[in-house]
Amino acid sequence: MKQFKRLIIPYFIWAIIILVIPLFLIALYAFTTEGNEVMTLSFTWGNFAKFLEATYLNVILKSFWLGLLTTFICLVLGYPLALIIARCSEKMQGLLIMLVTIPMWINMLLRTYAWMNLLSDNGIINNLLAKIGLGPINMMYTDFSVMLGLICNFMPFMIIPIHTSLNKMDKSLIEAAYDLGANRFQTFWKVIWKLSLPGVVNGIMMVFLLAISSFVIPKLLGGGQYMLIGNLIESQFISVGDWNFGSAISMILAVIILLSMSLMKRMDKEKGE
């Protein structure tokens, strides 16, 4: 069996060259100025300092806020759904979960584009509204359209982990809670919710990660001027050409994600005990 250890070599080389080195490269960019040549390195905090300018700080805060809001709404809407599904018969559950999963397979572009059909100024909704004499409502290119896109796109990522942990739960625990005199609310709060927390934490992490780093959805549903962190990174790399600043933003995004993930993990551990 020993000889098969060597099979890992191509993967190892690939991981080092394509993943590890480029990631270090970005850190290098983030802390240096000007020029994309490695030869002319000069260390600086400037790229991060630039971030404190109001325009950029606003982008971060807005992304953060939108990410939190999206995650929260997904949780509030998704949890009851997962609960309803988990209480259906085995066969029905399979079907419903499949219905939840399929959109995850549909290209995100397509799902986002689909909303444009409905929301645009001369789109279907406004046309229907006009028929009953209501003036056109501007829905495209607003916070509303972006949020709607984010929520509908990422909802399955909240529902599935919650459903998994609800489904894994021993049903007799719920009966035991009733048996011991808990009412419906107490049973939910003290037993069901507590036991589904791992799934909830997973769902929150996934949705938040996806929402805060989203880039296509705000671009399409928010318009060219709509800026979230993802769009800022793209513009720095593709249109502005300030790679150093772009790298610094990416690092900040990565730090935000890592921090929130470790925070959630810690909460999960504390609550679990």
> Using the rule CB under 8 A, is 230 a contact of other proteins?
yes
- Which tokens hold the place of 252? 């900040």
Kindly state the smallest distance separating residue 181's Cβ from other proteins, in Å: 21
Only segment of 39-47, 58-66, 175-183, 243-251 that touches other proteins (CB under 8 A)? 243-251
Q: Does 41 bind other proteins (CB under 8 A)?
A: no
How far is residue 198's CA from residue 264's CA, in Å, rounded to a whole number? Answer: 10
3-state secondary structure of 236: helix
* Interface pick for other proteins out of 31, 115, 226, 245 (rule CB under 8 A): 115
- Near other proteins in 118-137, by CB under 8 A: 118, 120, 122-124, 127
Long-range contacts of residues 57-64, Cβ cutoff 8 Å, at least 24 apart: 59/227, 59/228, 59/229, 59/232, 60/229, 60/252, 62/227, 62/228, 63/212, 63/228, 63/229, 63/230, 64/212, 64/256
Query: Which region among 21-29, 49-57, 179-187, 262-270 touches other proteins (by CB under 8 A)?
Result: 21-29
Site residues (CB under 8 A) for other proteins, limited to 206-225? 209-210, 212-213, 215-216, 219-220, 224
| 39, 53, 89, 239: residue in contact with other proteins (rule CB under 8 A) | 89
Q: Which of residues 144-203 bind other proteins (CB under 8 A)?
A: 152, 155-156
- Pick the binder of other proteins from 87, 168, 190, 265 (CB under 8 A): 87
Task: Tell the residue number behind the tokens 């953060």, with chain if given.
Answer: 64
- Compute the CA torsion angle 51, 54, 60, 61 (nearest 10 deg): 140
Choose between 54 and 89: whose C-beta lies nearer to other proteins.
89
Size of the site for other proteins (CB under 8 A): 81
Is 253:246 a contact under the CB 8 Å cutoff? Answer: no
Considering only 68, 108, 192, 195, the residue that binds other proteins (CB under 8 A) is 108
40 contacts other proteins (rule: CB under 8 A): no
CA distance 190 to 182: 9
